[in-house]
């Protein structure tokens, strides 16, 4: 089984505009040995046990509940909102979400093997954190909380992508 890797955002990534604007961005990816559609990936990602914990926390602390049905609707492009996020942009193989505070972005992308082997898919997951701008000085700052939580964010991002891969491999999606 291949490991989750970090790398540069693909050139066509919808998240690139934030990197170009000076936001923090990251990019994690893993190759899965079968063809996976973007809709399958999005649904699997947002319905894993790990992500359900996040959804529960959002429902309790931010009054932003969500269900697996809503995750399926998001995946099928039948919904513009899911839990604490709104769809900011879509492409046939990408989804870019913005949180309700406008500070973070979540990005998912699936790419069937570009070398011509349709039985492999690269799954990408990335985030952007938009910095605060001091109104007086114009200085950009990410803040203490960002730096304090960055290590956890990196581990959690890998965990989320790994959980999505595992779900795709063992569930109805793998049949």
CATH of the domain at 77: 3.30.530
5-6 and 132-133: which strand pairing? Answer: unpaired
Range of the domain at 84: 5-174
Predicted local distance difference test score (pLDDT) of residue 2: 73
* Dist CA 112 CA 82 (whole Å): 26
Q: How many domains does the chain have?
A: 1
pLDDT number for residue 116: 66
Q: What is the pLDDT of residues 53-109, one digit of tens each?
A: 999 999 999 999 999 999 999 999 999 999 999 999 999 999 999 999 999 999 999
- Whether the per-residue pLDDT at 174 is higher than 60: the answer is no
Collect all residues with Cβ–Cβ distance below 8 Å to 109 and sequence separation of at least 6: 10, 13, 14, 38, 93, 94, 95, 123, 124
């Amino acid at each position: 089984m291949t490991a989750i890797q970090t790398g540069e955002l693909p050139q066509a990534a919808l998240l690139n505009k934030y990197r170009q604007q000076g936001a923090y961005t990251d990019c994690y990816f893993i190759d899965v040995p079968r063809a996976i559609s973007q809709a399958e990936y999005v649904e699997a990602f947002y319905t894993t046990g790990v992500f359900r914990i996040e959804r529960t926390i959002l429902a309790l602390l931010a009054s932003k509940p969500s269900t697996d049905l809503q995750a399926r609707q998001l995946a099928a492009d039948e919904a513009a909102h899911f839990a604490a996020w709104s769809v900011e942009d879509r492409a046939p193989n990408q989804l870019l979400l913005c949180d309700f505070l406008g500070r973070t972005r979540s990005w998912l992308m699936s790419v069937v093997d570009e070398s011509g082997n349709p039985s492999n898919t690269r799954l990408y997951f990335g985030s952007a954190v938009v910095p605060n701008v001091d109104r007086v000085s114009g200085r950009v700052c990410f803040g203490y909380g960002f730096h304090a939580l960055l290590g956890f964010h990196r581990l959690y991002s890998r965990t989320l992508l790994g959980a999505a891969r595992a779900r795709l491999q063992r569930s109805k999606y793998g049949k």
